[in-house]
Amino acid sequence: MDTTTARNVSAWIVTIAVTATVLASNGAHAIAHAEPQVTIVGATNREISLVQWGVAQYDTAGIDIRPVTIILHSRDEGWAPCRGAVAYYKSSSRTIDMCNSTRPDEERRHWILHELGHAHTFDTMTGSDINTFIDESRSNSWNDPNDRWQNRGQERAADIVAWGLNPEPKAAYWMQELQCEQRAELFYDLTGMEIVHNEC
Ligand SMILES: [Zn+2]
């Protein structure tokens, strides 16, 4: 069997352990291996590498990812598990569904970073952060279903995080209305970090 394409939807669960700072019993901060933070379900070997690449970009940049489960769906499952989208983050279950198995790796890498970006912004943004971001990113709303999704702040936030973390950055066409420097500033506001590339 070709293990690079085999998919075990029922039971193949891979966990990625990341290092984290924990409070030791004597009160000192110590580096220790935390419980696995990212669970990958239903992935081929190639997809496991894809997800590990995405997690590594956050890890290298020093941006925490709180526990999340990433489910890779096969082409046969269509877009239904992602509510009609190519990928979908559900905050209540901390689950990312990926429905883009037919897309090129370059694009799938972007979507991994984007969906993890949703998890990061859900976990870290306050109400006033959100209001400021809507203003500065020229979004119409945070997540008003009456707005096209490109004009919703939560999508722009996830995409800016993905763009800033990708060594081969690709800003979506609908982000071109923001200057590169503006996107970099918004990335800093969202993550506390500088962008990882020299695009601006
Ligand atoms: Zn999104």
pLDDT in tens, 150-174: 999 999 999 999 999 999 998 788 8
- Minimal CA–CA distance to 158: which of 131, 125, 196? 125
Q: What is the distance in A from the centroid of ligand 1 to the CA of 115?
A: 6
d(CA 71, CA 12): 10
- Minimal CA–CA distance to 165: which of 138, 193, 130, 189? 193
pTM for this one? 0.86
Residues of the chain with pLDDT under 70: 1-36
Q: What is the distance in A from the centroid of ligand 1 to the CA of 52?
A: 19
Final residue in a domain of this structure, among 109, 124, 139: 124
Q: What is the distance in A from the centroid of ligand 1 to the CA of 165?
A: 15
Q: How many other CB atoms are found less than 10 A from the CB of residue 151?
A: 16
Phi/psi at 191 (nearest 5 deg)? -125, -20
* Residue 183 and residue 167 in one domain: yes
* Residue 116 and residue 199 in one domain: no
Q: What is the distance in A from the centroid of ligand 1 to the CA of 13?
A: 24
Alpha carbon 181 to chain centroid, angstroms: 21
Final residue in a domain of this structure, among 90, 109, 124: 124
Final residue in a domain of this structure, among 85, 109, 124: 124
Structure confidence at residue 171 (pLDDT):
77
* Residue 21 and residue 106 in one domain: yes
Give the tens place of pLDDT for each residue, 117-132. Answer: 999 999 999 999 999 9
Structure confidence at residue 22 (pLDDT):
44
d(CA 67, CA 18): 11
